[in-house]
Structure 1
Amino acid sequence: SISVKDTSVQLIMWAFEIITNTGDVRKTYYDYSFIKYGDAVLCDNTGKPVRNAFMKRALSFTGSEGEGEENINKAILNIKKEISLYPDNTEARILYYALLLKTGKTKEQVAEIINRDVDRLREVLTNRRFLKFSLKAYRMAGLNKKIESIEKELIKSEPKGEIAAEKAFKEIMRLRDSVKRMSELESFIVDFPDSPIRTTALTAIASAAIENDDTVKMTEAGDKLLKEKPNYLVARSLAGLAGSLAEKRVNFSKALTYINKAVEILNKAKKEMPPGIDKEEWQERINVTEGRYKDILGWIFYLKGDNDSALNNLSEAVKLTRQPGVYFHYGEVLLNTGKKEDAVKWLARASVFGGEVSDSAYTELVRLWTFLGRSAEDLKLYVRKEADNLKTSYTKKVLSRRKNITAPDFKLITVDGEWEIALSDQKGSVVFLCFWAAWSRSSAIMLDELDKLSKKWGDSVLFLTITTDKDIEKAISFIQRKKMSLPVLINNETDKAYNVKGVPTLFVIDKKGVIRFVHRGFRPDLKDVLAIEVNDLIKHKQ
């Protein structure tokens, strides 16, 4: 423990000199060799650890602060010390419950502890603090009746509070009628002007306005979003509004303002890569988004008559993302600026994806091709050649992310307890290994896609999945609800061996037991990407 007079000072051991009472410098610590901040406990003048000191220490063992190994037992030990010193520290108790769930305790077991704590704290906390703590705790345990009871009390005592806002917003978003939903959301903004979900509500208004083709409401929502704290949600919504206004060919000045703000937000986000994601994967996501934004920006410039700016942005957009709409816009601008041969190429590329946009691109291509006096047979050959060029380019890009990491071996039992599967026994087969969790929507989407692929590819690929849920009953309930046919194994710290930082995470392992590709999170083109990877592994007999 470290005792200092000014307990408001943030103790960072490697940034300060430790000086004895005589004023002599005993030793200077500029690295981690003496003690880590996460391991230090700050005390007051009496030697008692200050509030949150042990909670801070507990957090250092959860892996949530990005440093050190996860050690749930040490985390629990420290959080218990915090609670014993400060029984009214509700945040510490919430962390304690979360840690218990991570150890594999069921919700029922944790619910018993929560009920006991709630009874103890009823007389200790103010009514407002007690209700908010109880609500958080009951939500963790899934005690729905108690959750409803507490929510009613909180809404009664704070009709304009956070819980009232959450409940009102959820009810509004259930409305299927987009006109009525938009009207109710506008009233929500007035009723809850300071709500933490105000930004989310504004983006929902923007979406409803686009759905309703209401350009007046689009600009009203866009102008309000410009004043919100910038984040990915705001950028995406502003870009959507800009694109919709441009397609309707109205209010170009507003559309330009919105998309420029979206680009500004994106440029700042480039420097803030989230944890648990590969640098390459993060760059790919940025590229796709930036490509879409440059497409919208270029199209607006074209509609405003600024052809040079339009071509500059659209030529960048087609390099960043593989979308028929982007190719179609570029082809249209090239055509209308007299670059007919280049227009033919990009309209042909836009036409090969299938769907409404591709159909429109093909219609435009046929008109241009006929104008140039070329035959229908030559057109078919040309489109086929461009389709092959696109496929070759895309394949090369996918395979450039190839890895060469020996897959850690494991021997795990299935959730039904009937089988024990070892990865080392699967050599000779291409293996898809997916880590997932029942609470993750992206996991559910990826598992649905993998289930379809397993039926399509049959014995060409072995599909294995590992549930990271501590509560196996949750996983089983999910499996039954989804009617999963894929094998599901029970995790035994295998996620740590594979350095899994989030779910879903999919590893593509070759026939020699080497990890060749990794996918973190679901992506819309996953099916196409996996087809390329598997075909390559089979072709090269890896």
Structure 2
Amino acid sequence: MKHLLTIGLVLLLLVGCSNRELSTEPDYDGLISFIMKNQKKESVELYAACEQALPKSIEKGELEDYQKIIKIYNKNTDVFSKAMTLGFLSSVSTEDPVLKDSIFNAVKKAEIMIKSEAFLTSAREYYQERNFTEDELNDRLTAYRAMISDGYAQLLIERHQLTEALNVYEDIIADYQDTEILLNYGKALNKMNRYEASLIACIEALKMTPGSLDAKSEILNTAELLGYSKAEVNTMIDETIFVGRNLLRQNFLADQLNIPMPEFEIEGIDSTTITHEKFKNKILIVSFFATWCPPCLEELPHMNEVYHQYINDDDVEIIVVSTDRDKYLVPPFIRKNGYDFPVYYADGLNKAFGVKGIPTLFVIDKQGMIRYKKVGYSEGEEFGKIMSWYIDEIKAAEDV
């Protein structure tokens, strides 16, 4: 069966949106009507409608609808899509105790599914169709499993099953760590009065994302519980940020590429046309986004700041490229947000660059070689510093 990944777009807030465009917001009553009429005919469309309707039924408090939909959706044999859909129900809020129990059972089921061989096989089929390498697949699935397990652990905490939640977190961080998961782990440790272990987790979170205000706040709160003075806590935070930035800089710059930039000719939202020839002897940043992509919406304001930072630097050019199919959405989106960087339509350029998720940006040197690639946006990351690291490194190499 063809794979679905409708609700799976949600999880790409840490790793970038997949190359799939969201359609117009579906009408809830229309979804329910379609599902009920077609429930006996197994199809991609039926399960796609279920994936969209399940979280909506929870948000609306429609218990009866939820129970009908989940019964139908459980027949879906696509293990990858099913695990993703059920797993991310943990992010949907409700006060209904029966729906809360239903969500818990669905997420618990997903937690079991993501550890199965069937999940791996199903996911491999999906991503091989999209030309993912084995390493890219493994990285993506490790992140997916971690985020679903994180949601499950949070539900365990809500049910005061703290020991079980900590066991889940320890399994997660053995294979995968990111700022949000480390902070959630630290908060769980705090609930069990394990303040020293919590402080260590929060310090590691800040080290990974030195701009994270949440990490700084958790360090401050936990350190005070341990009796540290404010001066000691501030020193602790400053030292962690210093170490974290140095580690990040090393990691970002270590992933250097040496790939020719593809030739291109693209049209801007102002109807002007540019080609790759325009950027000879320039350091070029090409950033791919879409108006419907949540992490893109987080990143773009920072890209606008970077654009203004380098607007008078004759060596640096920045272009932002929309992958939206509905081009008419782009100009009003740019105007509404007050962005000043030049914006163009991809028209296949994303495929030429090998983009597999957005936001993705490339940094190209003056010889037209792609030197760096950055995928995704994480809340709290110091985007401007990262861009300056890339640009400064290329400039330094050319000055040698």
The TM tier, using the shorter chain, reads 0.5 to 0.7
Question: Is 1:256 matched with 2:115?
Answer: no
- Counterpart of 1:486 in structure 2 is 342
- Distance in structure 1 (CA, Å) of the matches to 2:156 and 2:242: 31
**Residue 306 to residue 503, structure 1, CA distance change in 2 (3 Å):** closer
Code of the aligned partner of 1:197: E
Matches within 5 A, 1:210-221: 210-212=58-60, 221=69
**Residue 288 to residue 173, structure 1, CA distance change in 2 (3 Å):** same
* CA distances 1:177-207 after superposition (whole Å, capped 9, x unpaired): xxxx3x6543432223226422122222221
* CA distances 1:231-270 after superposition (whole Å, capped 9, x unpaired): 5543232112245589999535554224323554653345
- Counterpart of 2:189 in structure 1 is 334
Deviation, structure 1 residue 393? 4.3
- Distance in structure 2 (CA, Å) of the matches to 1:263 and 1:247: 30
Matched residues, number:
347
Match of 1:346 among 201, 204, 215: 201
**Residue 369 to residue 421, structure 1, CA distance change in 2 (3 Å):** closer
Matches within 5 A, 1:388-467: 388-407=242-261, 410=263, 422=277, 426-427=280-281, 429-433=282-286, 453-460=306-313, 461-464=316-319
Code of the aligned partner of 1:398: F
Match of 2:376 among 505, 515, 523: 523
Is contact 2:59-2:94 (8 Å) kept?
Answer: no
Deviation, structure 1 residue 293? 1.7
- Counterpart of 1:241 in structure 2 is 89
- Distance in structure 2 (CA, Å) of the matches to 1:313 and 1:242: 15
Matches within 5 A, 1:17-416: 173-174=26-27, 181=28, 185-193=31-39, 194=41, 196-212=44-60, 221-230=69-78, 232-242=80-90, 250-251=100-101, 252-264=104-116, 266-272=119-125, 273-274=127-128, 275-277=130-132, 281-300=136-155, 303=159, 305=161, 307=163, 310-318=165-173, 320-324=176-180, 326-337=181-192, 339-348=194-203, 358=214, 362=217, 368-407=222-261, 410=263
Is contact 1:276-1:500 (8 Å) kept?
Answer: no
Match of 1:535 among 374, 389, 392: 389
Higher RCO (C-alpha 8 Å, min separation 6) = 2
Is contact 1:468-1:495 (8 Å) kept?
Answer: yes
Larger radius of gyration, structure 1 or 2?
1
Identity, % of aligned pairs? 15
Code of the aligned partner of 2:172: A
- Distance in structure 2 (CA, Å) of the matches to 1:501 and 1:227: 33
Secondary structure of the structure 1 residue equivalent to 2:256: coil
**Residue 263 to residue 403, structure 1, CA distance change in 2 (3 Å):** same
- Counterpart of 1:76 in structure 2 is none
Deviation, structure 1 residue 287? 3.1
* CA distances 1:35-64 after superposition (whole Å, capped 9, x unpaired): xxxxxxxxxxxxxxxxxxxxxxxxxxxxxx
Instruction: Point out where structure 1 has 5 or more consecutive residues left out of the alignment.
Output: 1-169, 175-180
Secondary structure of the structure 2 residue equivalent to 1:227: coil
Is contact 1:238-1:262 (8 Å) kept?
Answer: no
- Counterpart of 2:3 in structure 1 is none
Deviation, structure 1 residue 343? 0.8
- Counterpart of 1:178 in structure 2 is none
Instruction: Point out where structure 2 has 5 or more consecutive residues left out of the alignment.
Output: 1-22
Is contact 1:348-1:362 (8 Å) kept?
Answer: no
**Residue 235 to residue 456, structure 1, CA distance change in 2 (3 Å):** farther
- Distance in structure 2 (CA, Å) of the matches to 1:171 and 1:468: 16
- Counterpart of 1:44 in structure 2 is none
Deviates more, 1:330-339 or 1:298-307: 298-307
- Distance in structure 2 (CA, Å) of the matches to 1:510 and 1:528: 22
Deviation, structure 1 residue 462? 0.7
Secondary structure of the structure 1 residue equivalent to 2:391: helix
**Residue 418 to residue 256, structure 1, CA distance change in 2 (3 Å):** closer
**Residue 536 to residue 421, structure 1, CA distance change in 2 (3 Å):** closer
Code of the aligned partner of 1:405: I
Is contact 2:58-2:94 (8 Å) kept?
Answer: no
Secondary structure of the structure 2 residue equivalent to 1:402: coil
**Residue 393 to residue 314, structure 1, CA distance change in 2 (3 Å):** farther
**Residue 214 to residue 457, structure 1, CA distance change in 2 (3 Å):** farther
Code of the aligned partner of 1:369: A
Deviation, structure 1 residue 213? 5.8
**Residue 490 to residue 349, structure 1, CA distance change in 2 (3 Å):** closer
Is contact 1:347-1:362 (8 Å) kept?
Answer: no
Secondary structure of the structure 1 residue equivalent to 2:311: helix
Is contact 1:290-1:320 (8 Å) kept?
Answer: no
**Residue 462 to residue 502, structure 1, CA distance change in 2 (3 Å):** same
Secondary structure of the structure 2 residue equivalent to 1:238: helix
Deviation, structure 1 residue 330? 0.9
**Residue 291 to residue 448, structure 1, CA distance change in 2 (3 Å):** same
**Residue 339 to residue 453, structure 1, CA distance change in 2 (3 Å):** same
- Counterpart of 1:7 in structure 2 is none
TM-score normalised by the chain length of structure 2: 0.64
- Distance in structure 1 (CA, Å) of the matches to 2:349 and 2:91: 44
Deviation, structure 1 residue 400? 3.8
- Distance in structure 2 (CA, Å) of the matches to 1:288 and 1:529: 21
Deviation, structure 1 residue 433? 3.3
Secondary structure of the structure 1 residue equivalent to 2:140: helix
Code of the aligned partner of 1:508: V
**Residue 464 to residue 330, structure 1, CA distance change in 2 (3 Å):** closer
